Amino acid sequence: MRLFLFFIFLITPFTLSAEVLRVVILGSGTPRLDIDRFSQSILVEAGDERLLFDTGRGTAIRLSQMNVNLSSVNNIFFTHLHSDHIVGFPDVLMTGWVYQREKTLNIFGPSGTKNFVDNIKDAFNEDIKIRLKKPEELKMSGLKTYVKEISDGLVYKSKNVEVHAINVDHGGGVEHAYGYKINYKDKSVVISGDTNYSEELVNAAKNVDLLVHEIAAAPSSLVKKSEKVRGIMNYHTTPRELIRIINQTKAKFTVLNHVLLLGGMTEDKVLKSINSSLSKDSKAIFGYDLLAIELTDRVNTYSVDYTK
Ligand SMILES: [Zn+2]
Ligand SMILES: [Zn+2]
């Protein structure tokens, strides 16, 4: 059995070959409790680097479903501090420690990120005291964090990877919300975070290889009738706005994420209306949990869920 599994691992496309940019949607949903759509979390694998964008519900579980060890993730970027984007952070921090994180965990995010991380650590004080002693004797070094509160512009640079933060327009009292652009070799990805139509994001995403953009859709009758739905639509991006965004950016491939479909809207209906309004060089699909998008000379999409 073990030999058989090993063989399967060798022949599946799940493991990433070196020098490739791959994006995995770990959570494609919203605060809504949905077993199929955990709230937002996106893993970007650039060669041998792993960067995590948001840590929504179940991030640690989704990483384990794709056979990624928590201790191999050392850079986390928050788009904003709405709970659906950070509620999975304590699990990543603490379980990563239990499973032998060795390097400092770097966390980049808007103003308030330091306070959030410090308070989460404080909240686990009792557990930390216990695990430092016998029999576990974990080392404090595995819980080391470095927090950088960012503004827009270049926020991270390594030998092959650059991450730029983009001011976006989330509204609804959220002062600091960012999208991110990740450059790796000749490929680039833009992650919108939560936002309404954002000119800054459109400018940053011109000709991007992959755009991961949030979407919210509701029938116009419902928008007219419900003040609450109108409010939600004002904080998020409608299908009509997405058509405009994709046509303006000429993004080659768009994954619709943070999926919020209200009042009987369906993925099929939304996708048809979007794709029929795009040029032949652009295409949009809906994201789902554990969808991998691999950018080589073409775009490959597949599920990285080992448990199915
Ligand atoms: Zn939000
Ligand atoms: Zn959100």
Sign of CA dihedral 106, 161, 112, 213: negative
Per the structure, the complete domain to which residue 154 belongs is given by 21-303
For residue 232, the cross-strand partners are: none
CATH number for 222? 3.60.15.10
Give pLDDT, residue 308. Answer: 80
Q: Is residue 9, in this structure, part of any structural domain at all?
A: no
Contact 113, 81 (CB under 8 A): yes
Instruction: Write down the mean pLDDT value for the chain.
Output: 94
Q: Which ligand lies nearest the alpha carbon of 29? A: 2
CB distance 21 to 184 below 8 Å: yes
Q: Give domain status of residue 206, yes or no.
A: yes
CA 172 to ligand 2 center in whole angstroms: 12
Residue 203 CB neighbour total at 10 angstroms: 11
16 lies in some domain: no
Number of structural domains found in the chain = 1
**Furthest CA-CA distance within the chain:** 63
Question: 77: CA distance to ligand 2 center in Å?
Answer: 14
> Does residue 2 have a pLDDT over 90?
no
161-167 and 210-217: which strand pairing? unpaired
C-alpha 115 to ligand 1 mean position (Å): 18
CA distances from 262 to 169, 187, 213 (A): 21, 34, 17
User: What is the pTM for the complete model shown?
Assistant: 0.94
User: How many other CB atoms are found less than 10 A from the CB of residue 10?
Assistant: 8
Query: Does residue 10 belong to any structural domain of this protein?
Result: no
265 falls within a domain: yes
CA of 11 to the centre of ligand 1 (A): 39
> Whose atoms come closest to the Cα of 195: which ligand?
1
Residue 54 Cα to ligand 1 midpoint, Å, equals: 11
In a domain, 6, yes or no: no
- CA 142 – CA 67 distance, rounded (Å): 21
Gap from CA of 106 to ligand 1 centroid (Å): 22
Give the model confidence (pLDDT) of 173-224 as tens digits.
899 999 999 999 999 999 999 999 999 999 999 999 999 999 999 999 999 9
Please name which ligand lies nearest the alpha carbon of 215: 2
Residue 107 lies in a domain: yes
Per DSSP, the three-state class of 144 is coil
- Kindly identify the ligand whose nearest atom is closest to the C-alpha of 235: 1
Ligand 2 center to residue 84 CA distance, Å? 5
Confidence of residue 116 (pLDDT cuts 50, 70, 90): very high
Cβ-in-10-Å burial (0-12, 13-18, 19+) of 137 comes to exposed
Cβ pair 142, 97 in contact under 8 A: yes
- Taking the C-alpha atoms of residue 243 and residue 275, their distance in angstroms, rounded to an integer, is 8
What gap in Å lies between CA 89 and CA 93, rounded to an integer? 6
- 7: CA distance to ligand 1 center in Å? 42
In this predicted structure, what is the pLDDT of residue 7? 46
Among all bound ligands, the one having the nearest atom to the CA of 41 is 2
Alpha helices, H only, 208-297: 220-225, 227-235, 239-249, 267-275
The Cα–Cα gap between 7 and 108 comes to 38
* Residue 291 covered by a domain: yes
Does the CA dihedral 214-150-147-210 come out positive or negative? positive
pLDDT tier, 84 (very low <50, low <70, confident <90, very high otherwise): very high
Task: Return the sign of the alpha-carbon dihedral for residues 10, 74, 177, 165.
Answer: negative
CA 31 to ligand 1 center in whole angstroms: 9
> Mind listing the pLDDT tens digit for each residue in 128-182?
999 999 999 999 999 999 999 999 999 999 999 999 999 999 988 899 999 999 9
Statement: residue 96 has pLDDT above 60: yes
Alpha carbon of 225 to ligand 1 centroid (Å):
23
d(CA 166, CA 179): 5
Residue 194, pLDDT score: 98
pLDDT greater than 60 at residue 4: no
